[in-house]
Chains A and B, each alone.
Chain A
């Protein structure tokens, strides 16, 4: 069984640019959540997708958007990057139910630096 993978591992962007981060969920998991983790903080929930539809969103502006695909992959897109967007971005997949109370299986994260 393949675990959750994320790409790229590291990324450097300039303020104002756009970025796309990718995640491949564990096979059979149709729920994916994205988190932003700043240094020294716990993960902050961005949004959750279930069967390609967003079914939960945290306190993040609309320039954070996502997509989930039928092949268990997903994307996090961030437009108009700001310096404060520099963080580790985690994706986590869960089996079946689309609720938030399933165990989440985390990827290794993508480290985004905005200059």
Chain B
């Protein structure tokens, strides 16, 4: 069965420190993974998708099929990165579906 796991509910780091938000998935096919972000009082929005291989707001994510992971990384966290982050896996099983992880709240301290 398809599954997306974000093991940390809360991650707290100091400004300027590196940050890594973990995402592990379970999927038998070739995954196309996304990271969505929700800043305070804003709607959920795309941060990045692995297929585009872009770096958005300094964040990158590499798909590791061997470890079935898609961790989100940033070398130097900023206070404005404080938000809720969700990893998402769209897939097809008898129809098109998307599964989201439970989310990780990132808090960047000054």
Query: A residues near B, CB below 8 A?
Result: 4, 33, 35, 40-45, 48, 50, 54-58, 90, 92, 98-101, 103-109
Contact = CB atoms under 8 A, between A and B. Distances in A.
Interface size class of B (residues with CB under 8 A): 20 to 34
Interface of B: 4, 6, 32, 34, 36, 43-46, 49, 51, 86, 90-92, 95-103
Contacts of B44: 43, 90, 92, 106
Contacts of B100: 35, 42-45
Contacts of A104: 36, 46, 98
B49 A100 contact: no
Contact of A58 (B32, B97, B103): B97
Contacts of A101: 32, 51, 90
